Structure 1
């Protein structure tokens, strides 16, 4: 089935609010096997909303609205939809009771315009709003399905998940096979190179399908198929997963939707391995990414943000000759990255020590270009490795990509050591 999303709100057209609802709904609908071919944004104008409805009716089976169902005069979604379909509006008593309780519980006098949030179109199924006040709607009309949702994401998302998905499965998708997916996670490779490596599979795909999604420093590939049962779906998905893994064995780290840092924390904690870190240009971002993960206390002993040369010398014993003088290699160098990784590992008496030093920008440092970064990986009883990165983007991009690159190198080292991983669904099993 084909769907169209209509986001209502002049603030969206003015750029005052980002339409994150469209992204959420597109992902959710795709997972249900519903194709989203169009997204429309329209302002708070009844006639223009009606025009958008007429266009959507001509090309979509399911039409979803977000926004325009609040208490103010410019909240016109339900009015426009009722007019377009020739239906009437009325107050839903249960929704009205919910609105009234909100004000009574807070001992606030309810203004008359709040009654509008309890209005529904005749012959529709009300969708209770557990977070806010405006009631949503779901109904069928002349072989089309209409869903009306609130605009605030914190209200819209739970309403869609808890109310709309079951309604669609019961009323609109009765003859559709469910869709099943796997999320394959990759690190150490960009989206364009990954796509190039998988181009033959992507061009020849039919069932299952392949869809790459990129974030800073990581790429996700969703593989999906429709099948009568999960068992039949997994048989097809497992074959495709193995084909992809065979092409990118050094980059695919998991077949479940988990960030690399969580995989590493769980893996090292279970294996009894410990970690410490020394950060210069990333300013603690690496340590933050690790300590954000529950359970990291059992594997991460600590670290040092050695932003200045003084701290590098005093706390991590970087030779002054590396940092000062006309012949010095400078703080942004493989030599300094090596010392930082080794010294922080010894200081913490950990199995692994990580380091990062570089130029995050916006200007040059030590006459070295923005994006030049060195990351170090020290391991007890093994030779320290240093990797040069030449990154592009903003200061924030460079810092984040440096962290992801270093985590990737740690993952590769653990993989090479064949350390047993505890995480079910990991590509490392």
Structure 2
């Protein structure tokens, strides 16, 4: 079965709210074996909504609407669909009774427009809304299925997880659910990853392989339809093993977690602690690591030594290292190494990491934008310094530098 999600609301088009419903619904429909081929956003306009329905009918078996079921005149979804199908509207008695009781219990005056939330399209099944007032509609007409759900996620999500899912299941034949596994990679770009997997991607039938890019990371989703979880796992495992053979050194997780969480997990498993000293990244590494719940057990803290004076005062790096004729400078391999070593010693941790470089917008110390040195100092081992040349704007360079540092730290932890 092919589905299209139609989100209704001008506020979505204006960017005033984010369409989180589409993501949630896509995941739910996939778990039921229903393929979502299209997502549409349309404003509170009857003509444009009608056109969206026409287009949706031409390419899907199921249209799932969110939004436009409220009490105001711009809540048009039921009215437009009813008119399109040549059907009338009627009041759903039990919903109307609940609305009246709610207003009565609060001593509020109920205006006539509130009755709109109890409207049903003729021939519909009611989709109960336990978290709100607008009743959902489920309709089968002319070989098409229509499911109408409210826009607020706090109402929509329990409806699709409960009565909405039950209604859809009653209309399905033998659809197989979709199972997926997300593989997360670092230290490799999307193009390079795809090149190393291209024959698998081009030959894919079932399971399917789909790469996705994110700043500093790449994901590959392996998906299959199967009659059971065990069957799906067997099929997916075969493909994952082939991928690991090609690029296993970059595979940091078989679940949807960021690289920094994988690093924290390895630190926790090995009972090791981390401190950091940052310059060009401006505290971004510390921010990402502390975003991981419970990371205080592994990350003791860090310093942002943005100027040479702070590198000297907080880390004790000699000014002769940082400035003057013949000095390596703040942006150098040796300074990165000293920063990592000093912060590790000061915090008495197992690992100290550092970043120093040029995030832009202009060069510094005669060195180009995008040049970043980062170092990993480990207790009892030689400090490792890495050089990277990054592209992008200031924010992208900072993020990519931090992800590159985390990847090298992940490698060091994994080897142990």
Q: Does 1:307 align with 2:306?
A: yes
For the structure 1 residues 98 and 229, does the alpha-carbon distance in structure 2 shift closer, same or farther, using more than 3 Å as the test?
Answer: same
Residue of structure 2 equivalent to 1:118? 118
Deviations along 1:205-244, whole A, 9 cap, x unmatched? Answer: 0001112222222222111111222111111111100000
Q: In structure 2, what is the Cα distance between the partners aligned to 1:110 and 1:358?
A: 63
TM-superposed CA distance for 1:80, in Å, is 0.7
Secondary structure at the counterpart of residue 297 of structure 1:
helix
Q: In structure 2, what is the Cα distance between the partners aligned to 1:120 and 1:14?
A: 29
Secondary structure at the counterpart of residue 239 of structure 1:
helix
Q: In structure 2, what is the Cα distance between the partners aligned to 1:126 and 1:239?
A: 44
Q: In structure 1, what is the Cα distance between the partners aligned to 2:329 and 2:102?
A: 63
Q: In structure 2, what is the Cα distance between the partners aligned to 1:150 and 1:137?
A: 10
Secondary structure at the counterpart of residue 396 of structure 1:
helix
Unpaired stretches in structure 1, ≥5 consecutive residues? 418-429
For the structure 1 residues 5 and 323, does the alpha-carbon distance in structure 2 shift closer, same or farther, using more than 3 Å as the test?
Answer: same
After TM superposition, list the pairs within 5 Å mapping 1:228-307 onto structure 2: 228-307=227-306
Residue of structure 2 equivalent to 1:91? 91
Q: In structure 2, what is the Cα distance between the partners aligned to 1:366 and 1:131?
A: 60
Deviations along 1:290-333, whole A, 9 cap, x unmatched? Answer: 22222222222221121222111111122212321243333222
Secondary structure at the counterpart of residue 248 of structure 1:
helix
Residue of structure 2 equivalent to 1:144? 144
Deviations along 1:146-190, whole A, 9 cap, x unmatched? Answer: 111223444434433344334323322x31122222111111122
**More deviation, 392-401/104-113:** 104-113
Residue of structure 2 equivalent to 1:397? 396
After TM superposition, list the pairs within 5 Å mapping 1:73-92 onto structure 2: 73-92=73-92
**More deviation, 148-157/93-102:** 93-102
Residue of structure 2 equivalent to 1:424? none
Secondary structure at the counterpart of residue 168 of structure 1:
helix
TM-score by length of 1: 0.89
Residue of structure 2 equivalent to 1:180? 179
CA contact (8 A) 2:30 2:177 kept: no
TM-superposed CA distance for 1:350, in Å, is 0.8
After TM superposition, list the pairs within 5 Å mapping 1:17-166 onto structure 2: 17-100=17-100, 103=103, 108-166=108-166
Q: In structure 2, what is the Cα distance between the partners aligned to 1:220 and 1:108?
A: 52
For the structure 1 residues 47 and 396, does the alpha-carbon distance in structure 2 shift closer, same or farther, using more than 3 Å as the test?
Answer: same
Unpaired stretches in structure 2, ≥5 consecutive residues? none
TM-superposed CA distance for 1:273, in Å, is 0.9
Query: What is the root-mean-square deviation in Å for CA atoms of aligned residues?
Result: 2.3
Q: In structure 1, what is the Cα distance between the partners aligned to 2:83 and 2:72?
A: 18
For the structure 1 residues 279 and 154, does the alpha-carbon distance in structure 2 shift closer, same or farther, using more than 3 Å as the test?
Answer: farther
Q: In structure 1, what is the Cα distance between the partners aligned to 2:240 and 2:269?
A: 26
Q: In structure 1, what is the Cα distance between the partners aligned to 2:98 and 2:331?
A: 61
Q: Name the count of aligned residue pairs.
A: 416
Residue of structure 1 equivalent to 2:415? 416
For the structure 1 residues 97 and 286, does the alpha-carbon distance in structure 2 shift closer, same or farther, using more than 3 Å as the test?
Answer: farther
TM-superposed CA distance for 1:18, in Å, is 4.7
Deviations along 1:269-294, whole A, 9 cap, x unmatched? Answer: 23211111111222222112222222
